[in-house]
Amino acid sequence: MIPRYARPEMTAVWSDKNKFDTWLQVEIAATQGWANEGTIPQIDAQLISDNAQVNSDDVITYIEETHHDVTAFIRSVSESLGEEGRWIHYGLTSSDVWDTATSLQCIGALDLIDRSVSRLKEEIKQKALEHKDTICIGRTHGIHAEPTTFGMKLTVWLTEIGRHQERLQLARKHISVGQLSGPVGTHASIPPEVEQTACNFLGLSVADATTQILQRDRHAFLINCIAGLGGSLEKFATELRNLQRTEFSEVEEPFTENAQTGSSSMPHKRNPELSERVCGIARTLRGYALTALENVPLWHERDISHSGSERIILPDAFGLLDYALDILTGVIHGLKVKPERMLENLNLTNGLVFSSKALNYLIESGLPRQDAYKIVQTAAMKSHHDRTDFRSLMEEDEIFRKQLNPQAIDEIFDPHSYLVHIDETFRRIGLI
């Protein structure tokens, strides 16, 4: 990941050093399996466990000669051992090590993502509770619809994040597997018992059936889960971007006064650049999801067409998601919410947003729906075109005045009457 979008912990998971260290874990696990079967002397397995090391700088240097990552890695590890070094990579093929280690790296990266998702969820939860009763206009098709609350908006985000957490847990299950099954998965050079012992040692399940590789539907599902979460982050960020538009001005991203700048030419600018950054990252993640899907169909027992792209999409997808989660968490934490501006915007249409309740009350009073709809729409269209008060126009209608008493009319035009069941939603998702 480019340094601007990189966070240290996630970068460490996908570093060359950690990759080769993880390969070494797999190699050590294999020797433990062989020792249990009696093929490798226990003393040699112990020496390997105690002394085996890999120098990532040396591996990179050796790759220039071998043009092969794993043989360069084996050479470096062997240099740290004595005669027992001959057992390193015994019976294995490169993908046994690479794919099993990649699963471990993915699990480590998922641990970081899980913590970041939980932090974002907590920030949204706190903002939702804080603004449970902060009235604002709800919009459909970008047009004023009915009153809602800012907290109610955020409850939808919370439940959406919860579904992504479930998907990521399933992706973790699918990727928490290893294989040490030899060149075409037949265990001709390494028995299933060694594979089982090694995977147990690493905390992985054994893939039930393999070729030379773990099948890439696992990785495609994982990357698509990452892209799916990114899509929701973009959805949240897009809403925040729209609410920051000058014409709306209902929220503001954190902005460091007297230090931060929004434009090189316009000193007044306070752009929603953090939310925009999240949106751009999400689009990149969707591209990686497509690449991961294209890695599923490989030739025969395997080819290497998936390998080159995975060197990019796995670390970058995890890195970008981790960064986007951190950015959006900071935005939510420092978000400035403007209740007064929200009320101003709610009242922009001179009461038109209360039309549905006026319709429902007329129907409840006994008026046929079509007749009630006509009365309300006639007043609404006149209010819209003439920019006049909708309530006043409704009260000029004789049928409306006759059908409804003053208390009912007051309820129609009270935004709080739309929100009497908000608490139930908060209870349903466990916030109150």
**Fold exhibited by the domain 1-90:** Fumarase C; Chain B, domain 1 (1.10.275)
Q: What is the pLDDT of residue 348?
A: 96
Q: What is the pLDDT of residue 378?
A: 96
Confidence of residue 197 (pLDDT cuts 50, 70, 90): very high
Q: Quick one: average pLDDT of 232-254?
A: 97
Supply the pTM of this predicted model.
Answer: 0.94
In this structure, CATH architecture of domain 352-412 = Orthogonal Bundle (1.10)
Q: What is the pLDDT of residue 379?
A: 97
For residue 76, indicate whether it is catalytic: no
Identified catalytic residue from 141, 268, 300, 421: 141
Confidence of residue 36 (pLDDT cuts 50, 70, 90): very high
pLDDT of residue 262 exceeding 90:
no
pLDDT of residue 260 exceeding 90:
no
Residues 208-231 have pLDDT tens digits of 999 999 999 999 999 999 999 999
Residue 220 CA, distance from chain mean position: 15
Confidence of residue 270 (pLDDT cuts 50, 70, 90): confident
Residues 323-363 have pLDDT tens digits of 999 999 999 999 999 999 999 999 999 999 999 999 999 99
In this structure, CATH architecture of domain 93-183+209-349 = Up-down Bundle (1.20)
pLDDT of residue 264 exceeding 80:
no
Do 103 and 178 touch, CB atoms closer than 8 A?
A: yes
Identified catalytic residue from 49, 68, 263, 356: 263
Q: What is the pLDDT of residue 123?
A: 98
Residues 274-316 have pLDDT tens digits of 999 999 999 999 999 999 999 999 999 988 889 899 999 999 9
Residues 104-135 have pLDDT tens digits of 999 999 999 999 999 999 999 999 999 999 99
Domain boundaries, the chain: 1-90, 93-183+209-349, 352-412
The percentage of residues in the chain with a pLDDT greater than 70, rounded to a whole number, is 100
For residue 306, indicate whether it is catalytic: no
